[in-house]
């Protein structure tokens, strides 16, 4: 049996297609409240790495812990208590909450976690977009490192999806790429400057992928901030894959720059629902209470360049 992915259809139709399907008492709100933590078994750095999965929207986050300390990457505001509870259950102190960029599909949990005593971290390169609360948090520049037990998290600038897009290399084993690279696609480049700025952003994305990501060892795992229905999970149930496998399977990663740009711009899906309001909320330029924030996030993320898998069979 197959598991239903983000923004799936009705239970009856899913059963006909040989998917597992359940009825949730709270409907869409119940579906959006599901949040699974799955261990990344191929991670071979210090400590343990979990991948958080929100199937309703395809949002992914990462929780690394070692020697009594922990960090979460790309936390969602809706699950602030979950991260704290998980840390308590594991007997670790949540030291850092790191965002890869200004998200367009969900409300970030960086500020709410920071209010709870966790050190909130945003990319230094994202501040120029108009972040109103930058002085209240830690900013991470390219090359900065954060220590979690014996695990080192290195900041890697990877602009393209946004100008401030930043990846985090978790103890030389997994690169949390945010919306820069997924296991089934690459980033869309039009959410910051629109259609007019998309070609330049796509060229910037190409340079980041070729110079900052694909130069890492082939066995380095890639873990994006989202997955779609087109994504195939690894054997452990996580949406991660080694760089070498992605290069073999995703033609876009081996194209010359001009062809890459043309392919990325050719057939982008609709932009994420409510993305303007979500971006402004994440910049601190408008506010949303918990109920409003939760409602803004309902629906698929659409942060990839294609709704279809760009990886081969």
Q: Please list the helix, strand and coil fractions of the chain in percent, rounded to the nearest 5, in that order.
A: 30, 25, 45
Task: Determine the Cα–Cα distance for residues 174 and 197; give it in Å rounded to an integer.
Answer: 30
The pLDDT value recorded for residue 4 is: 42
Spatial contact of 239 and 228, defined as CB atoms under 8 Å apart: no
**Residue that has been written with the tokens 């966790």 in this structure:** 118
Segments in the chain below pLDDT 70: 1-30, 299-313
The pLDDT value recorded for residue 298 is: 76
The pLDDT value recorded for residue 305 is: 53
Spatial contact of 287 and 281, defined as CB atoms under 8 Å apart: yes
CA angle 190–194–195, rounded 5-degree value: 85
The pLDDT value recorded for residue 254 is: 96
The pLDDT value recorded for residue 268 is: 82
Spatial contact of 100 and 166, defined as CB atoms under 8 Å apart: yes
Q: What is the dihedral of CA 174, 179, 183, 184, to 10 degrees?
A: -170
The pLDDT value recorded for residue 179 is: 93
The pLDDT value recorded for residue 10 is: 44
- pLDDT tens for each residue of 79-104: 999 999 999 999 999 999 999 999 99
Of the options 3.60.15.10, 3.10.20.30, 3.40.50.300, 3.40.30.10, the CATH number for the domain spanning 35-296: 3.60.15.10
The pLDDT value recorded for residue 290 is: 87
Query: What number of CA atoms fall less than 13 Å from residue 226's CA on the CB side?
Result: 31
- Please give the biggest Cα pair distance in the chain: 53
Task: Determine the Cα–Cα distance for residues 151 and 45; give it in Å rounded to an integer.
Answer: 7
As a whole number of Å, the CA-based R_g of the chain is 18
The pLDDT value recorded for residue 25 is: 63
- Domain boundaries along the sequence of the chain: 1-32, 35-296
């Amino acid at each position: 049996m197959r598991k239903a992915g983000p923004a799936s259809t009705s239970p009856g139709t899913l059963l006909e297609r040989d998917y597992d399907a359940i009825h949730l008492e709270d409907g869409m709100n119940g579906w959006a409240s599901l949040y699974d933590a799955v261990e990344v078994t191929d991670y071979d750095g210090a400590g343990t790495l979990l991948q958080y999965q929100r199937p309703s929207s395809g949002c992914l986050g990462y929780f690394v812990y070692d020697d009594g300390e922990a960090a979460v990457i790309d936390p969602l505001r809706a699950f602030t208590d979950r991260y704290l509870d998980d840390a308590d259950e594991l007997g670790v102190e949540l030291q850092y909450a790191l965002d890869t960029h200004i998200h367009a599909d969900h409300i970030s949990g960086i500020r709410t976690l920071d209010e709870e005593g966790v050190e909130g971290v945003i990319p230094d390169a994202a501040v120029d977009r108009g972040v109103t609360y930058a002085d209240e948090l830690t900013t991470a520049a390219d090359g900065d490192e954060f220590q979690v037990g014996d695990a080192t998290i290195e900041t890697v600038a990877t602009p393209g999806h946004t100008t401030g897009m930043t990846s985090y290399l978790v103890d030389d084993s997994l690169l949390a790429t945010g919306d820069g690279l997924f296991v089934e696609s690459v980033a869309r480049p039009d959410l910051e400057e629109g259609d007019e700025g998309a070609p330049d952003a796509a060229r910037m994305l190409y340079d980041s992928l070729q110079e900052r990501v694909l130069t890492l060892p082939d066995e380095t795992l890639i873990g994006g901030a989202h997955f779609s229905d087109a994504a195939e999970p690894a054997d452990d149930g996580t949406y991660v894959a080694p760089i070498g496998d992605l290069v073999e399977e995703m033609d876009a990663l081996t194209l010359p720059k001009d062809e890459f740009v043309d392919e990325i711009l050719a057939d982008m899906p609709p932009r994420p629902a409510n993305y303007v309001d979500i971006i402004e909320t994440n910049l601190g330029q408008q506010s949303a209470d918990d109920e409003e924030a939760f409602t803004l996030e309902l629906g698929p993320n659409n942060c990839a360049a294609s709704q279809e898998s760009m990886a081969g069979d």
